[in-house]
Amino acid sequence: MTPAKPAGYRAPVIEVRLSGPDDAPELVRLREVMLTDVTGAAPESDGWQSNAEISLRQRLSDGTMVAFVVDQPDGRRLAACVVGVIEHRLGSPTNPTGEVGYVFNVATDPEYRRRGYSRACMRALLAWYRKRGVRRVDLRASSQGEPLYRALGFVRTRDPAMRLSFPSD
């Protein structure tokens, strides 16, 4: 059970901002943090980071990707982030426009966890989707992240995910 807050308690205000291309290196760093948490081992440095940074810079600039972030108190690094895109699929009875928000790269630096930063970033992204008329939002949840997503209204789907990876030439 969560202890009661003292009378007059006010939760600290979390300042979330829309990320820009200059945040790309930090977004990649936080992606590494997230991937390490999910897999249990740090990802190899085989060039993916520079490719991810280039892609982030371009896509954050042209608006095909969006990220919301919380800065660390000193402003030098990011404490938390979430990245999302709008995918364009065929319409269906439950989603006439076919637009689907996809959330990925929800990450918080370990020393800044349990402060509501990821929740604040997620709320900003969900508001961004709503403003654009997106009616469905998908994500893949780690066991650590699932309670947050459930609290925001996400539910498990019955459709199992499948993947095919082609070998590099």
Domains of the chain: 17-151 (3.40.630.30)
Confidence check: pLDDT of 2 > 80? no
Q: What is the pLDDT of residues 58-91, one digit of tens each?
A: 999 999 999 999 999 999 999 999 999 999 999 9
C-alpha to C-alpha distance for 114 and 47, rounded to whole angstroms = 31
Mean pLDDT of 96-124: 95
Amino acid identity, position 94: T
- 88 within 8 A of 98, measured Cβ to Cβ: yes
Q: Bridge-partner residues for 81, per DSSP?
A: 69, 107
- Residue (of 95, 77, 73, 94) closest to 86 by Cα position: 95
Q: Is the pTM of this model over 0.85?
A: yes
Q: Is 133 left (phi over 0), alpha (psi -120 to 50) or beta?
A: left
Q: What is the mean pLDDT of the chain?
A: 91
